[in-house]
Amino acid sequence: MAWSRSDIALAVGIVSVVVPVLGPPAWVYGARAVSVIDSGREPGDRERARMGRRLAQIGTALLVMGLALGLFFSSPVPQPS
């Protein structure tokens, strides 16, 4: 059985929630999968592709929040003199 773009977008979107570094590439892949399915160039389940894109957006948000928290807590604290 061959995997369709929608199946791959969903799988990578799920993984991106666990490994947020994969969020941005998964978001791009999911968006491309939706546009290919909408244009009719390739059959696929549009809802799976949309769900994969949404999960990738969540993974990207987790990545941004993790980076922001990392920068916040790694900043040096001024010592009182």
pLDDT in tens, 52-65: 999 999 999 999 99
Q: Quick check: is 26 in a domain? A: yes
Domain contains 59: yes
More confident site: 81 or 21: 21
- Within a domain: 74: no
Residue 29 within any structural domain of the chain: yes
Please give the pLDDT value at position 61: 97
pLDDT at 40: 87
Considering the domain boundaries, does residue 76 fall inside one? Answer: no
Q: Does residue 79 form part of some domain?
A: no
Tokens read off for 67: 């980076």
Query: pLDDT tens digits, residue range 11-55?
Result: 999 999 999 999 999 999 999 999 999 998 888 888 999 999 999
Domain count, the chain: 1
For residues 45 and 42, what is the distance between their CA atoms, to the nearest angstrom?
Answer: 10
